[in-house]
Structure 1
Amino acid sequence: MALEAMKIRAAIAACLIAVGALTQAHAERTLKPVDQAATRADFYAFRAQLQAAIARRDAGALLAGVDRNIRNSFGDNNGVDAFRQIWEPEDRRSRVWEVLGEVLALGGSFDREGSFVAPYVFSRWPRDADAFTHAAILGASVPVRAAASPSSPVAASLSFSIVEQIESRGADESWVQIRLPRGKTGFVDRRFIRSPVDYRAIFSKRDGKWKMTAFLAGD
């Protein structure tokens, strides 16, 4: 009887482990917003000035905050001159105002070297989540539509979730198809989802002054 009881307990334990593993596999992972800028008054003031320059599209003020050796890519086209060629900040229609503005608006955190890394989606991305196939939902109760249309029924709502992106050729570019935690699929408005390998900026102190030392995307 004792042997039979042991076998039953072992079977129950195995079932519980299997259920736990399945639950964990389908569990919803989240990435909550983080912004540590206010913990360093000097950087907080610098960022506020930079955001003001972006709001008025002031190329001179922006370039004053760019390090002369800024990293623009993973190739050789680095430095402030290459930055100007890539982004053309003197043109008020340049995408730099929108792209950098979004990066700064999403907060960030300081790394071990004391540099500020933005946005939080990049600086706090979990190492065990695939950065090329997954993305972060930017907000609480973000609707997931059954189809790529604002009039489509809401299939689910997500709050700061990490989700798998699905390549959907021919779909409306303003929507991103995702896989929900339990395997179903849906569409999210692109404004409310961000890949960790999208544009990010790094700010470090150079000769006592804060400078943007990197502004790039990819990996």
Structure 2
Amino acid sequence: MTGTTLAQGKLTPYDNVSLPAGLEEFIVNLENAVDQKDKKFIINHMSANMMNSFGGDGGINEFKEYWNWDSDSTEFWNLMKHILQLDRGKLKQEDVYFIPYVFSEWPETYDPFEHSAITGSNVNVRNKPGLANSQVLGQLTYDIVKVNYEKSYPSFDSPRIKNVNYIGEKLWYYIESLDGKLNGYVYWKYIWSPVNYRLGVTKIEDRWLISFLVEGD
């Protein structure tokens, strides 16, 4: 049985985001570089003071070490592809832009460590963490939800699932709607937290450059 779509606490992306021509061109080129795994483009369009975490010293060399840049198994490409596929927000500062919208548009009303955003329309919420032998309890469309990480799958004391390519800690997130009427499991592709990874690009000397890729707070 499929429940009705809930209609409160939404974080709905904008239908059309108007960006300066130079920034729009940069994002398109960045998307192409990620699709082609173009390492030269990434490094050539990275700020010398690139921020990689809240505890590091920053810089391009730290970025390369952090992301195991010389290895074919770097997770950078998968992460960037996912972030860039999420919808964009508005340009809030003339020289700085953030992706995805879940970070830039997040309402302060909701604790970012306890809540996340559903990032699609009619996203299924299931009674079990999986497609096989699970039932759809209802659907959510761009809702802000509470997340129970202890109930999410896999558990914290379990290793990452081998040969399953997912971004983040969990494959299935256990969520509860804000009105408490719907709870269950949502697949990782359709949920994102404002404290998950986000990308910052900054205009430096008339060039748009990647200035940070961080998670946490």
Tell me which interval the TM-score lies in, with the shorter structure as reference length. 0.7 to 0.9
1:41-85 deviation line (CA, Å, top 9, x unaligned): 111111111111111111111111110001111113311111111
Matched with 1:28 is 8
- Which structure ranks higher in relative contact order (CA pairs < 8 Å, sequence separation ≥ 6)? 2
Distance 2:89 2:119 in 1: 14
Measured after TM superposition, the shift of residue 156 of structure 1 is 0.9
SS where residue 34 of structure 1 aligns? Answer: coil
* Structure 1 outlier segments of 4+, above 4 Å: 35-38
Identical counterparts, % of pairs: 30
Alignment of 1:41-190 (within 5 A): 41-106=21-86, 107-150=88-131, 151-169=133-151, 171-172=153-154, 173-183=170-180, 184-190=182-188
2:158 aligned partner: none
For structure 2, list consecutive stretches of 5 or more residues without a partner in the other structure: 1-5, 155-169
Is this contact kept in 2: 1:145–1:188, CA < 8 A? Answer: yes
Contact 1:36 1:108 in 2 (8 A): no
Contact 2:144–2:178 (Cα < 8 Å) also in 1: no
| CA RMSD of superposed structures (Å) | 2.0
TM-score for both structures, normalised by structure 1: 0.82
Higher helix share: 1
Scaled by the length of structure 2, what TM-score is found? 0.82
Report the CA distance shift for 1:111/1:76 in structure 2 as closer, same or farther (over 3 A): same
**Long gaps (5+) in structure 1:** 1-25
